[in-house]
Amino acid sequence: MVNTDNGGNVRVQSLFSCNILLVGFMGTGKSTISSYLVKALGVEEIDTDRLIEQREGRSIANIFETDGEAYFRRCETQLLVELQKRKNLIISCGGGMALQDENVRLMKETGKIVLLTARPETIYERVKDSRDRPLLNHNMNVEFIAGLLEKRRPKYLKAADIIIDTDGRDVSDICEELIEKVAGSTK
Ligand code: S3P
């Protein structure tokens, strides 16, 4: 079991001199896992979607609507460039971050890329009530999610250093596997 109430587990923290970048389709649990890891490891969290929203002073939906997806993608790449010199971060990435080769190159330079996966049905259940994902707003159904996931899968797999399935598992179990795998891969 991961210890979450010690404000930073020294043994575990010392295993990570790099950043951990969580990538994967919308609804694969990046934000949930990120929050848990931050507590367990006592490290800082960057949520790329939230940071872009803060800086822009508007929602992602508004950015897509007003300036288009390409503008949002440039914000994402810019953020990764800025994070290049930072360490010991849990970086929870927007679901499209791993789709651009340049982003993957930047991410590989600063940390371990952990891909979270889930079945389309699970993803649908997790995101169905959300209104702040412009790509799903008019396509909120399992078929669309399955199609987009299939289209993106090769890019996600190519980017991943570590892959973790989240279907039907609780957060502490997922985080335990993640920590073990990251620790093992940085030995
Ligand atoms: C996107 C995923 C979203 C957000 C934007 C685009 C995508 O993040 O970055 O709506 O292209 O998959 P989450 O994965 O956190 O929902």
Domain residue ranges of the chain, discontinuous segments joined by +: 12-185
Spacing, Cα 111 to ligand 1 middle (Å): 20
Q: Does pLDDT of 180 surpass 80?
A: yes
Q: Where are the beta strands (DSSP E) in 27-147?
A: 44-47, 89-92, 111-117
pLDDT of residue 129: 95
- Residue 20 CA to ligand 1 center (angstroms) comes to 18
50 lines ligand 1 (CB under 6 A): no
Ligand 1 center to residue 170 CA distance, Å? 22
**Amino acid identity of 158?**
K
User: Ligand 1 within 6 A of 60 CB?
Assistant: yes
Q: Give binding residues as ranges.
A: 27-32, 49, 73, 95, 133, 152, 169
Q: Which of 1-5, 84-88, 171-175 has the lowest mean pLDDT?
A: 1-5
User: What pLDDT, on the 0 to 100 scale, is given for residue 10?
Assistant: 43
Say whether 180 sits in a helix, a strand or coil.
helix
97-152 pLDDT, tens per residue?
Answer: 999 999 999 999 999 999 999 999 999 999 999 988 999 999 999 999 999 999 99
pLDDT value for 1: 47
Give the Cα separation of 51 and 116 in Å (integer): 21
CA of 26 to the centre of ligand 1 (A): 6
Which residue's alpha carbon is at the smallest distance from atom 12 of ligand 1? 95
pLDDT at 185: 85
**pTM for the whole thing?**
0.93
**Tokens encoding 74:** 């440039």
Task: Indicate whether residue 52 lines ligand 1 (CB < 6 A).
Answer: no
| CATH class of the domain defined by 12-185 | alpha beta
Sole residue written with tokens 């090769």: 154
Residue 17 binned pLDDT confidence (cut-offs 50, 70, 90) = confident
Atom number in ligand 1 closest to CA 135: 10
How far does the centroid of ligand 1 lie from the alpha carbon of residue 96, in Å?
Answer: 6
For residue range 42-84, list pLDDT tens digits in order.
999 999 999 999 999 999 999 999 999 999 999 999 999 999 9
What's the pLDDT at 16? 65
Q: How far apart are CA 54 and CA 128, in angstroms?
A: 24
Residue that is written with structure tokens 């079945």 in the block: 119
